[in-house]
Amino acid sequence: MIYGAWICLLSPLAAAGLITLGGQRLTRRAAGYLATLSCFVAFGGALATFIGLLGRDGSQRQVVSTAWLWLTAGSYRSGLEVLIDPLSVFMMLVVAGVGALIVAYSIGYMDGDIEERRYFAYMSLFVFSMLLLVQGGNLLLLLAGWGMVGLSSYLLIGFWHDRPSAIAAAKKAFVMNAIGDATMALAFFLLIKKGNSLEFGILGGQYSSTVANLVALGLLGGAVAKSAQLPLQTWLPDAMEGPTPVSALIHAATMVTAGVYLLVRTHAIFEQAPKIADLAAGLGAATLLLAGLIALVQVDIKRVIAYSTMSQIGYMFLGAGLGAFFKALLFMAAGIVIHALAAEQDMRKMGGLRMLMPRTYWAFLIGALALVGIPPFAGFFSKDSILAAAMDHGAYGYVLWVVGLAGTFLTGLYTFRMFFLVFWGEPSAFVREHFHALRRDVVGVSMASTVGVLAVLSVIGGWLQFAPIWHPVETWLQTVAEPVVSPTNWQEAISSALAFVLGLAGITVAWLVYGARRVAVPRFASAQRTLERKFSSTSCTTPSSTRPRSS
């Protein structure tokens, strides 16, 4: 079990080193295969760790493995160690599993790019950084992983470094995330001063309200920056300058894992700072609503999904976590569309692709239904639990509940607006001129197969947490974080029914306006300009090509 955890952590780092040192001696395809193999080995290590932990009694499911003691300052000591417990293992499976699929997808997507080796070295480094973040056995290692994730994101967003817009986007992402890094570091300094330790156990100590609030606020700053929540969200739209698989990895792994993992892992301090916890929920509610509105006026297919990500992570800040599968699926299906249309991302130039790309059409539809939360797809079994938990949080909770329900309507509307604009109707003149997806070398096996796997996970993933019948995920994580509130059955039922109805209502409106085109698109010029500028007034980019450069 312990060996599996270390294999999981170190195999992507080894691949990054080998690809970097191998240089031109490695073929581009060999670099891709090596990076993919390392991620699947990491997933195998995570799976072995999970099986080993599963065989233990619940009270014994926490192991710390220390490689060496590497920092001593007075009575303070910190070692290079990994924490093996239900939460870290759960996140290891998500990061390594989804990461492996996205890296495999990249073999086809990046085929022909002259910097393909560098790309796969960066991707391997990113996966290692994420695993260090979730496996780090103390807060100092968590901070190290946190910073390396920011560095890796910077390198990947600015991967096409001959584009000024990509460089500017990478700098913005790095600076905005550095703000969160700084608030986290200040929180850790305060913990060292008060407790002389950065072990996770120190978070359960009793602190004065002032100290607890300051530490929680510093941690929240880090989570907000990494998860692109208000007010540190402005870097996310410009991050679409990176290759599409980068967007998928950032949103399926970093965006979900880093910020939400931090809040869950440090929940003990937030329980001592209820006002900061309420602030986190409020920021999530505001972000999910505003980002959903902004997604309605975007024409770039990747930016629609980016704002959708911000909105959905807002739900996570309200309570439980959503599945990572369908978000990665949407990005990768969108990547196939972009790849097939000579790198075009403007949805106004698309249409009629369901007849030309039927497999991508169905994969995108599954991802869209899961995102909206339509049963039996993955999203349905998580969003209703978040809404029900909000109802059990007093008057403030009911405000969050109403905002969350409004968000379900917006999710259905903007997601299926995108779906109908891209896939329905007759193929546009642009599509007929540029479409070349029927060539087998354009959308290869690596792209099609990984999207298919994610589509299956989007269908079955939600059944891992079907609360009315069984809830193995909740049971597995119970020893790490007990739920703060427990909604009643009637709250669950009302929230589920309303979320389902409002999601369908959003889909129906999208179909009437963009699918059947029976209703004209309303024109509110001033409102549209306001929404377009709300999060991107400082945007340094415009929709641009993400097609890999040919050699």
- What pLDDT, on a 0 to 100 scale, did the predictor assign at position 145? 92
Residues 110, 32 contacting (CB under 8 angstroms):
yes
pLDDT of 38 reads 96
The β-bridge relationship of strands 76-84 and 63-73 is antiparallel
Q: What pTM value is reported for the model?
A: 0.83
Is residue 341 in a domain?
yes
Q: What local confidence, expressed as pLDDT, does residue 508 receive?
A: 93
Question: What stretches in the chain show pLDDT beneath 70?
Answer: 249-257, 318-352, 378-385, 428-448, 458, 460-489, 521-551
pLDDT tens by residue, 318-345: 663 333 444 444 444 544 555 444 444 5
- Measure the CA–CA gap between 455 and 459, rounded to whole angstroms: 7
Backbone angles phi, psi at 63, to 5 degrees: -130, 135
478, two tokens:
């119970």
Assess if residue 184 is contained within a domain.
no
Q: Which residue has the tokens 């790198």?
A: 343
Polymer length of the chain: 551
Confidence at residue 256, expressed as pLDDT on a 0 to 100 scale: 57
Instruction: Please give the helix or strand (H or E) that residue 34 lies within, else none.
Output: helix 28-54
**Is residue 320 domain-resident?**
yes
Angle between helices 28-54 and 2-22 (to 10 degrees): 170
Contact 233, 535 (CB under 8 A): yes
pLDDT at 302: 75
Three-state DSSP string of 48-82: HHHHHHHCCCHHHCCEEEEEEEEEEECCEEEEEEE
Give CA–CA dist 201/199, Å, rounded: 5
* CA gap 195, 399 in Å, rounded: 37
Q: Is residue 55, in this structure, part of any structural domain at all?
A: no
What the block records as the tokens of 415 is 């997601």
Domain assignment present for residue 286? The answer is no
What pLDDT was estimated at residue 330?
Answer: 47
63: Cβ–Cβ under 8 A, 6 or more apart, which residues? 1, 2, 53, 83, 84, 85
Burial class from Cβ neighbours inside 10 Å (0-12, 13-18, 19+) for residue 238 reads buried
Per the structure, how many domains does the chain have? 1
Q: Which domain holds residue 373?
A: 299-537
* Residue 57 belongs to some domain of the structure: no
340's tokens: 């097939």
Nearest to 464, CA basis, from 455, 473, 456: 473
407 in a domain, yes or no?
yes
Q: Tell me: the pLDDT tens digits for 121-173?
A: 999 999 999 999 999 988 999 999 999 998 998 999 999 888 898 899 999 98
Q: Sign of torsion, CA 96 98 104 106? A: negative
Euclidean distance between CA atoms 391 and 476, whole angstroms: 25
pLDDT at 126: 93
Q: What is the pLDDT of residue 18?
A: 95
Q: Is residue 68 part of a domain?
A: no
